[in-house]
Amino acid sequence: MPSVSLTVNGTSHTVEVEGRTLLVELLREKLRLTGTHVGCDTSQCGACVVHVNGESVKSCTILAVQADGGSVTTIEGLAGPDGALHPMQEAFREYHALQCGFCTPGMVMSAIDLVKKHPDGMSEHEIREGLEGNLCRCTGYHNIVRAIAAAQEVMHGRAAALAPAEA
């Protein structure tokens, strides 16, 4: 059985897997990190998005063995050790960017990668295009887009704190 060594949210793990084990299965079933969700299992919905070596990927469409030697960040790894939320999480809370919450972990992970890939900032249109790989079946996109627009200002250092949602 192949053995996979990887860092997940800063902690090193060595795990025995099958060749066919998906990264999301390793995360959820072996490491019990169930914040990463499986929605469609067909690489369409984006609920399973995590970061591998800093880039967003659909963890249902990468084998665990392909992440060998890599660094994985999941939704559980975003908050600081003191529990302080990542600016993107804080923005999702402030702007009420969720309804049922199922898509939220993937939305947050995708949104962070998007913001990092656009250092000059994104327009509302670019944010919507950038979320092409994430589906919200509550269709709560409006507040998700608003939250990302607010969070990018903090992440790029253009705002010291999140603009209040009612402002």
Partner 1 sequence: MYDFAYHKPATLAEAVGLLADPEARPISGGQTILPALKHRLDRPAALVDLSGIAELRGIRKDRDRLVIGAMSRHFEIQTSPVVQAAIPALARMAGMLGDTQVRNRGTMGGSLANNDPAADYPAAALGLGATLVTSGGRRIGADDFFQGMFATALEPGELLVSIEFPVPEKAGYAKMRNPASRYVMTGVFVSRGPMGVRVAVNGAGPGVFRQPDMEAALEANWSADAVAAIRQDPDGLNGDIHGSAEYRAHLVTVMAKRAVLDAG
Residues that bind partner 1 (CB under 8 A): 2, 18-20, 41-43, 46, 49, 55-58, 61-63, 65-66, 68, 110, 113-114, 117, 130, 132-134
Specify the residue, 89 or 110, whose C-beta has the smaller distance to partner 1: 110
Q: Which residue has the tokens 């902690």?
A: 11
* Partners of 8 in beta bridges: 11, 72
Specify the residue, 82 or 132, whose C-beta has the smaller distance to partner 1: 132
**Do the Cβ atoms of 52 and 71 come closer than 8 Å?**
yes
Minimal distance, residue 41 CB to partner 1, in Å: 7
List of long-range contacts for 26-31, beta carbons under 8 Å, 24+ apart? 26/64, 26/67, 27/59, 27/72, 27/74
Specify the residue, 61 or 99, whose C-beta has the smaller distance to partner 1: 61
Minimal distance, residue 34 CB to partner 1, in Å: 20
Task: Give dist(CA 156, CA 162) in Å, integer.
Answer: 12
Specify the residue, 110 or 152, whose C-beta has the smaller distance to partner 1: 110
Q: Residue 149 — φ and ψ, nearest 5°?
A: -60, -40
Minimal distance, residue 150 CB to partner 1, in Å: 20
Minimal distance, residue 65 CB to partner 1, in Å: 5
